[in-house]
Amino acid sequence: MRDGHRPVRTTAGAPLACQRVHPEMRFVVGSTQVAVSLHALAIVVAVAVGASIALRRAREPAFVLLAVPVVAVAGLIGARALHATLHGGGGVWTGGLASTGGIAAGFVAACLIARASGRPIVDLLDPLAPAAIVALGIGRIGCFLGGCCYGRPTSLPWGVLFPALGPTPRHPLQLYSAAGDFVVAAMLLACVAPPGAITRRACMGLGVLRFALEVFRDPGATDLLAGGRVTVPQAAALVLVAASLRIQGASTMAPPRRSAADAG
């Protein structure tokens, strides 16, 4: 834990400054002190919870059970690769993650798995989409505890003070994102829809949410495109919205199934 985080007295109407973030948890096993990154722990929990949701919603649980580990690993590799491409530095296990790279890599992995198995892509994406959004929300809580992906300075009562960034309270953007992800996921999980509809709604909902929340992100915590007018997350959000308009139904991006009669 970092030192020097004493409570701060606030006057009426002043921002409520949270004096401590918790990037890691330390405990002793025997004579060994163990440090666990809470961001990494949040990612592990996110994958486990997401996998459970996907399996419960799958029309073919065995197929999804085989696909989830591949998609999860691809997502983590994509998230790490994009962050390293944009920022460099860090090792395989110590560098940051960019969720947009994870979403893209996970989507590509799901497409390849569906095509290799001869199944419609939406058979995989429909259960995975809400599960992935829940996982993103849990991961954002890890971001908050780690003090990354922070928001702009604010004078609102719920402003949060991140010690490494100085004495100015900031928007808890990570918690905004987590709350938004959970709301979108809850709406998806509550509805019964034809094949492909859940995937379309997930792309649209997540895309709109991510684009809108970038307004609150500090410029030092994001990457800019198009001469500084659009951020990388906003560009990715527009791609998601465009994808939602392109996904047509259960037969999208997969070869037609053959029945036993046709095979004979």
Residues 193-196: contacts with CB within 8 Å, 24+ apart?
A: 194/249, 194/250, 195/120, 195/122, 195/123, 195/126, 195/249, 195/250, 196/122, 196/126, 196/247, 196/248, 196/249, 196/250, 196/252
SS (H, E, C) the chain: CCCCCCCCCCCCCCCCCCCCCCCEEEEEECCEEEEEEHHHHHHHHHHHHHHHHHHHHCCCHHHHHHHHHHHHHHHHHHHHHHHHHHHCCCCCCCCCCCHHHHHHHHHHHHHHHHHHHCCCHHHHHHHHHHHHHHHHHHHHHHHHHHCCCCECECCCCCCECCHHHCCCCECCHHHHHHHHHHHHHHHHHHCCCCCCHHHHHHHHHHHHHHHHHHHHECHHHCCEEHHHCEEHHHHHHHHHHHHHHHCCCCCCCCCCCCCHHHHC
What's the rounded mean pLDDT across residues 80-94? 75
- Taking the model in full, what pTM does it have? 0.81
Q: Which two tokens stand for residue 191?
A: 């509805």
The whole-chain average pLDDT of the chain stands at 81
* Contact of 122 with 131, CB cutoff 8 Å: no
User: Would you state the pLDDT for residue 264?
Assistant: 44
CA 264/CA 259 separation, integer angstroms: 9
What's the rounded mean pLDDT across residues 184-201? 92
User: Would you state the pLDDT for residue 17?
Assistant: 41
* Contact of 146 with 38, CB cutoff 8 Å: yes
42-69: pLDDT as tens digits: 999 999 999 999 999 998 999 999 999 9
Q: For residue 32, which phi and psi values (nearest 5 degrees)?
A: -110, 130
Task: Lowest mean pLDDT of 123-127, 170-174, 208-212, 250-254, name the range.
Answer: 250-254
* Contact of 68 with 54, CB cutoff 8 Å: yes
Q: For residue 233, which phi and psi values (nearest 5 degrees)?
A: -60, -35
User: Would you state the pLDDT for residue 147?
Assistant: 83
- Is pLDDT larger for residue 190 or for residue 192? 190
In whole angstroms, how far apart are CA 258 and each of 1, 62, 126, 208, 227?
A: 59, 20, 22, 38, 50
